[in-house]
Amino acid sequence: MNDAFSPPAKPAKASLTEMTEFVLPSHANALGTVFGGQIMAWVDLCAAICAQRHTGRTCVTLFIDDFLFKRPVHVGQVVLLRAHVVATFRTSLEIEVEVSGEDTVTGHRWATVECLITMVALGEDRRPTAVAPLLFESDAERIAQADAEERKRTRLAKRTR
């Protein structure tokens, strides 16, 4: 691991990332709804941008947690993605991505996907490198960090079995 420096803490709002994607026929399955894999690709991209804004480094996906599809989005509708840093660790960070569908004609929006993605920051040597800690601005952010630490412990325990 490249640990040449200890980056200063940053607030989650500094790396908030929002994306908007228009669903075209090339994004859709035979039912006229966006492919789950297409949404996953957009989620991964949104999370990577968020992680890179926080770390100032190239970040790669390590783990995707609880990718739950709630409702579809049809051709001609819009997919809205919003990503923010939930927690930081030594060389990785957890990003929450919320995905909504939108009918731009009526303005109606609905929850489509929620998920957590763990990204790893890479140094110039392409090895994991130190991540700036979160600068907590609320008790909710401190609780979210503690919850993420528990999820990480659970994941690591599964890997060692």
Strand partners, 120: 60, 92
Residues 12 and 83: beta-carbon distance below 8 Å: no
- Quick: pLDDT tens for 56-113: 999 999 999 888 899 999 999 999 999 999 999 999 999 999 999 999 999 999 999 9
Chosen CATH of 12-160 out of 3.30.590.10, 3.10.129.10, 1.10.150.120, 3.90.1150.10 = 3.10.129.10
What pTM was computed for the model?
A: 0.92
**Rounded alpha-carbon distances, angstroms, from residue 77 to 19, 20, 80, 87, 107:** 14, 11, 10, 32, 10
- Tokens standing for residue 145: 């960090």
Name the residue with tokens 């990480």. Answer: 152
**Which residues lie closer than 8 Å to 135 by C-beta, 6 or more apart?**
9, 10, 11
Each domain of the chain, given as residue ranges in start order, spans 12-160
